[in-house]
Amino acid sequence: MTSTRISGARLADGTRTDVRIDGRVIVETGSLPAAAGERTIDADGLLLLPGFVDLHTHLRQPGGEGAETVLTGSRAAAAGGYTTIHAMPNTTPVADTPGVVEQVAALGEEAGYVDVRPIGAVSKGRAGEQLAELVAMARSRARVRLFSDDGSCVADPLLMRRALEYARIVDGVIAQHAEEPRLTAGAQLHDGAVAADLGLKGWPAVAEEAIIARDALLAESTGSRLHVCHVSTAGSVEVIRWAKARGIRITAEVTPHHLWLTDESARGYDARYKVNPPLRTDEDVTVLRAALADATIDAVATDHAPHPAEAKRSEWSAAAMGMVGLESAVLVVQAAMIETGLMGWPEVERAMSRRPAEIGGLAAAAGPVAVGRTADLVLLDPTARRTFAVTDLAGRSTNSPYLGQTLPGRVIATVFRGVPTVLDGRVREPEEVVAAWA
């Protein structure tokens, strides 16, 4: 591997520095002269942060390769500045055994763009009836530490309690999709004025909030760790704030789209805006932003959900739920949190790098840009503004709600374990990445 010098970068705290990478590790910082034979990345005017960590990525493989693969999803992640992603288990077959999670991890290692960390299912087949092999997946080569039934809520309180108990044995985390299914059957959009105007069945906020409250109490009774996926309502924030004040071991994530978009976006029946949980109201967005800023919500997670074009080009009720988000995440966070003055770049570093790494049990990915740390890095141009386009998407699907919108910021380079996976804003081709690892 060629050594690399990043010159003239600005850290989140405003400090200007050069960084030298040798192998997979940062070996020097400060004012550094160029060395013979090394690659130099000119970072004058650019922001240097630890690589982003996503707790909620859908890679679709095995079984859904028409929408995404581990390779294409890894390329999308690198394009967005990510160096670690957690792959959700809603694959075919479901990632509920050591064999499947090891396959996903191996495909990620073969691709070489990011660290792909599989999430194991909580229940067999994500059916919510019997526990999956949590301990076996944790002790497998994939070293699973996060468990989730993803888009299916673990609705049975007895099964959820047992899952929390088993996760505690392996120092794992149960990541819950909080949705009481009996309250959302047939629901299409947030239960409010827009849904009523469009003639769509409403999706009540309490369906999310009730499960979070229940699971917080279950986590307290077991002493286990609970993570709440894609928080979307103001009421959910209050429940999480209460649980944290009580000392319950609870963490939470919010998506970029729930920080930026509202149910008003759905007035044109454009299914790109159909997600689970649904887009909510202006009031919810305001509360979610404040909760991320004060760390009641710990992390930003993309819920990157690729779909083939035909799955979105249908009437609203029949369309698939979800949107791609890896490539646009930091741009939307800059728009929603930095440009509104609610957060600075140190807080973005916390929410997109440090805290998600800590939640996922990845100590090596949770540190600052410093000597001795693994060289997982992202270089951003925060002054850039451009119209987000299909050419900005590096994955297999194009179901982004931001196409045609002007967004701030641009990922200029991503470095994964010392290997540049993105240079000059371009995702490197697989053969280039493979050659760089040689």
Active site residues per annotation: 303
Strand segments, DSSP code E, in 255-370 are 299-300
What is the residue whose two structure tokens read 């609705």?
A: 155
Question: What angle (nearest 5°) sits at the alpha carbon of residue 356, between those of residues 436 and 68?
Answer: 55
Query: Could you tell me which residues come within 8 angstroms of residue 217 by beta carbon, excluding any fewer than 6 positions away?
Result: 248
Four-point Cα dihedral 387, 393, 397, 400, nearest 10: -30
Question: Among residues 178, 303, 294, which one has the least CA distance to residue 236?
Answer: 178
Query: Could you tell me which residues come within 8 angstroms of residue 59 by beta carbon, excluding any fewer than 6 positions away?
Result: 68, 69, 70, 73, 74, 85, 87, 88, 91, 104, 116
Structure tokens at 121: 């299912």
Q: Are 215 and 160 in contact (CB under 8 A)?
A: yes
Structure tokens at 107: 């495909």
Q: In what order do the strands lie in the sheet with 82-87?
A: 52-57, 82-87, 115-118
